[in-house]
Each structure stands twice: as C-alpha cells, then as structure tokens.
Amino acid sequence: MKLNILGSDWTVEYRNADADPLLKEDDGYTDPSVRLIVIANKREDCSIQDYKYMQRENLRHEIVHAFLFESGLGFNLEHIEFGHEETMIDWIAIQFPKILEVFKEADCL
C-alpha cells in the first residue's frame, strides 16, 4: 500500500514477525530512511481475537510517527530523554478516528 504523507510517498508492508527481526519485539515500525511502515501479521501464538482491529491501530500509530518524521520532528526517536512520548503517539492513534468524527460533526475542519 502507498500513502501520501505530507507530500511524500510512503510504503506500507505487512510482514510475518519471524521473517523480520525488527518485528521481534514490536508489532510495527517506521523506517524514515526509505519511507517504509511495516506492520506485523498475526503470530501463531497470538491470542488476540480481532487482530485486524489491532493492525489498524498499529498502522495509525506508525502513520503518526511518519507524520512526525515528515514534519522534521522524527529524530531522536529512540532517545529516552528527548524521544517521542509513545503514550502520546498511541493516544493520537487511538483517539484520532473519534476526534475526526467530532470535527466533522462540529463542521470545524
């Protein structure tokens, strides 16, 4: 899948966790060097019932990261002291669909 994020083309790929070492500990990641977002496919031992729901949420999370990279705010991502606050990334990723609905309802876009 291709996405246009702030004018740049990004690729989204779904990969099996055992085929990508970077998915060993995470369910997704963003590689700004090649504008790539990778989302993990369901693992065999995964007990989450609606994995598609989780994948959509993970994709939103990584898209927020991509927006930050394209905004010039993506560096020091792994820096504990100055990196992005993952809780806030998740908050945006989880609440954005609801915020968008309210924005539409309020006709304030």
Q: Which residues bind Zn ion (CB under 5 A)?
A: 86, 89
| Cα(106)–Cα(104) distance, integer angstroms | 5
Closer of 37 and 89 to Zn ion (Cβ): 89
Closer of 72 and 104 to Zn ion (Cβ): 72
Q: Of 29, 28, 30, 57, give the one whose Cα is nearest residue 41.
A: 28
User: What six digits make up the tokens of 23?
Assistant: 């998915």
Closer of 18 and 86 to Zn ion (Cβ): 86
Give the other-Cβ count within 10 Å of 48's Cβ: 12
The least distance separating Zn ion from the CB of residue 105, rounded to whole angstroms, comes to 29
Instruction: Give the start-end residues of each E strand in the chain.
Output: 2-5, 8-15, 28-31, 36-40
The least distance separating Zn ion from the CB of residue 72, rounded to whole angstroms, comes to 17
The least distance separating Zn ion from the CB of residue 26, rounded to whole angstroms, comes to 8
